[in-house]
Each structure stands twice: as C-alpha cells, then as structure tokens.
Structure 1
Amino acid sequence: MAGISKTSIARKVAMALSGLFLVLFLLQHFTINFTSVVSPSTFNEISHFMGTNFVVQALLQPVLIAGVVFHFIMGFVLEIRNRNARSVKYAKFNGGANSTWMSRNMIISGIVVLAFLGLHFYDFWIPELVHKYVESHPDDPYRYYDETIAKFAGDPIRTGLYVLSFVFLMLHLLHGFASSFQSLGAKNKYQEGLSGYKSGTSKFIRKFTTAFAIVIPMGFVFIALYHYFNNL
C-alpha cells in the first residue's frame, strides 16, 4: 500500500484493477441472485455450493473483502490528493463545464455504495456466520431462498434502501467502469480525438461500460422489487 501510494499513475492503475475485480464479482453476484427470480431450486443449489465450498469461503471470500477495502481506501486517497493538488479553489472551479456529475461526485456515490455494503453484510454475511458457526445449525441446502425472500417481504424500508443504493451504484459505475479502462491505457488509436468522447476510450468500451453500468444495477433493483411485490 505504501509503495502504491507514492505515484499518481500507480494509484490510478491500482484503483482501476481493484475496480475491475469488483465488477467481475458484481456480475457473478447478479447472476446468482437472478436465479432466485427464475428458479428457487437453482438459487438454493448455487448458494449452498458457495456457502460450503472451502475455496470460496476460505480463499475467495477474504480476497473479495480485501479488494473492497483496498478499492475504497484508494478512492479516498485519490480524492484527497486530487483536492489538495488543485491550484484553483473549488469555489472558483467550474467543474460542470468539463466533467459530468458522476465524475465530480465519485466520492459521494462511493460512500453510499460503501454504506450499502455495510447493510448487505449486516443482512446476509453476518447472519450466515451466526447460523453456521455460532448457533451451529445442521446443514440445510434448501434454506437460502426462503431466507433471502424474508429480507424483502413486507419490508418497504429495506427494499427502498436497496433500490436507492443500486441507483447510486449505477451512477458510480457510469464513470468509474469506463475510467478503469482509461487508467489502464485502453484507447482507440484510430478514433481517438474523433469520436467526441473526452475520456479517449473507444466507442466499444464506452458503450459496453455504459450498458453494464445501467443493466446490472437495475437488474438488482428488479430482483429486490420482484421479491417485495411478489410476497406482499
């Protein structure tokens, strides 16, 4: 961490790599959760595998948690250094003239996403640990669907918080996902300067990251609302 924080380029590359890693997890997490809409039995099977597999629990899960912590720490570090590096006071800086709302407020959307992760850990990860290691319940491969539904059924506040959090995640990804490719040097050498995109990223990357940033978070919103209204 100390070495990475010394240079601006290294910090941006580290931020980009950790962000892309979390995007892959987000896609995997969405794929599993979506099965709860189309096939409860499949959702139970996959969730049971993920919850009992040694590699997932002992190796991948700690790596994921470390990736989340690292990404948000680097985000705060970059934000603080960027603010300190500005030669013009923020009151005189017309940020809207050269950037989008998402790019200027990544720290805000990031804090909301971080708060949501705290809620998600409280709702699912901690109860799972208590269920398996504190209360020592026998293994039940059919409990996951019912436990998930119970989080949303008849609880408009929790459902609303999930929906709001994923809207902010969408805003965060709309800038952050494409910026990750830019930080790693992904540009279109034939169209750079002609495509009209200020970031310099290719049209394909821009369209792909924009579609992903909208479809996946809104997919999570759909899942939450589906389980809420389907269990009134």
Structure 2
Amino acid sequence: MSVFSADLFNEVSHFMGTNPVVQFALQPILIFGVVFHFIMGFILEIQNRNARNVSYAQNNGSANSSWMSRNMIWSGAAILAFIILHFIDFWFPEINTKFIQGDWSGLHNGEFRYYHELQEKFVNPIRVAGYCIAFVFLGLHLAHGFTSAFQSVGAASLRKKLGVLGKVYAIIVPLGFIIIALYHHLNHNH
C-alpha cells in the first residue's frame, strides 16, 4: 500500500494504530501466536534431536529430508531476529509515542508521521539488505512450513496441490515485502 499512496498508507496505519480492536485484541493475539509458534518450533527441534538415542554412523541428512526441513530452526531464528528489529524500528517507537507520551494523534508537525517514518527507516542500505535477507528466509520458512503443516494434520494426499499453492504464497508474500523495502530505499529523496 505504501508503494501506491502515502496518504492511503497514513490513513490505514492511523486506523490500525488507534482502533481498539486491532490494538487490544488482534495485536496481542498475533504476538501470542508468533511467540507460541517459536516456542513450539524450538520444542519440536529439541524433540527431533533427542528422538534417536544412538547417533548415525554416517549422517546423510539429504537422504530423508530437505535442506529446509533440517534448518527450519535457523530460518525461524533469522525471522525472529527480523521481528525484533522490526519492533525496534516501528512498534516500540509507536508504543512510546502512544502510551508514554500520550499522543494518539498520529501527527508530526501537523501531518501523519507513518509514511515519513517508513521512508526514514529504509534510507540505510544495510538495514534494507537485512530486511530483504529476512524476507528470503521468510519465503524459505513458508515454503516448507506450509506443506509440512498440512501433512501434520493429515492432508498428505493433497501435498502436491498444497505444495504448489505454498510455494506460490512463499514467493509472493516475501517478494511483496522486498519490493516495499527496495521501493522506499530507491525513492527516498523523490
């Protein structure tokens, strides 16, 4: 949305940032879901490592699993690091403005601040590269996680169809985020 209209981005950001349903119901549910997902992924990783009492004489991981399935914990850790950076960049300052300073207006010098803050964050090419790398990890994580989740709930017979849908989703979502980061980096002064 920020790629198409600064005004629309500001309006939607302000609506989401001041809507009590979003702020006090949906946002906590989303945060809980991310934390729960990370904890369960970490527990699953530990259980998988401890499942075999005797280690393999020769470890050929690619024989039974994909590189991504063996490295979900690492892509998840990279995504978690990105989420922390994203919170530091956007969420913590917003919480400070609203709850510490008591300013719910969303205004800075008489104008909505959201679009301007977004552009300012994407000036630094190192930050942009970090975001883009995180989005690549997100794509890899989604590609494996999508089909794996459906297999876990017994929909293995649909694995090929779901695999294609999962791969398309895992490309489109991160690519959209990458486009946003690059757009704001390349068009900062325009």
Partner of residue 31 from structure 2, selected from 65, 78, 89 = 65
CA apart distance, 1:131 = 1.1
- Residue 140 in structure 1 maps to residue 140 in structure 2: no
Cα 1:71/1:91, change in 2 over 3 Å: farther
Partner AA of 1:202 in structure 2: R
TM-score (norm 1): 0.76
Q: State the match for 1:172 in structure 2.
A: 141
Hey, what does 1:225 align to over in structure 2? 182
Instruction: Indicate whether 1:160 and 2:129 are aligned.
Output: yes
TM-superposition CA deviations, 1:180-220 (whole Å, max 9, x none): 111111133xxxxxxxxxxxx43321110011011111111
Q: TM-score under structure 2 normalisation? A: 0.92
Tell me, in whole angstroms, the C-alpha distance in 2 between the residues paired with 1:164 and 1:202: 28
Per the alignment, residue 40 of structure 2 pairs with 74
Q: Which letter does structure 2 place at the counterpart of 1:223?
A: I
The structure 2 residue matched to 1:124, chosen from 82, 90, 96, is 90
Give the Cα separation in 2 of the matches to 1:52 and 1:90.
Answer: 55
Give the Cα separation in 1 of the matches to 2:15 and 2:57.
53
The correspondence of residues 84-103 of structure 1 with structure 2, limited to 5 A, is 84-89=50-55, 92-103=58-69
Q: For residue 221 of structure 1, what is the amino acid of its counterpart?
A: I
Cα shift readout 1:99-158 (whole Å, capped 9, x = no counterpart): 2111110011111011111101111110001111222335036221111111102x1111
Distance 2:135 2:7 in 1: 26
- Work out the percentage of aligned pairs sharing the same amino acid: 57
Change (3 A) 1:94 1:119: same
Specify the alignment match of 2:77 in structure 1.
111
Q: Who is 1:203 aligned against?
A: 160
- 1:184 maps to what in 2? 153
Q: In structure 1, what residue type is equivalent to 2:118?
A: T
Q: What secondary structure is seen at the aligned counterpart in 2 of 1:182? A: helix
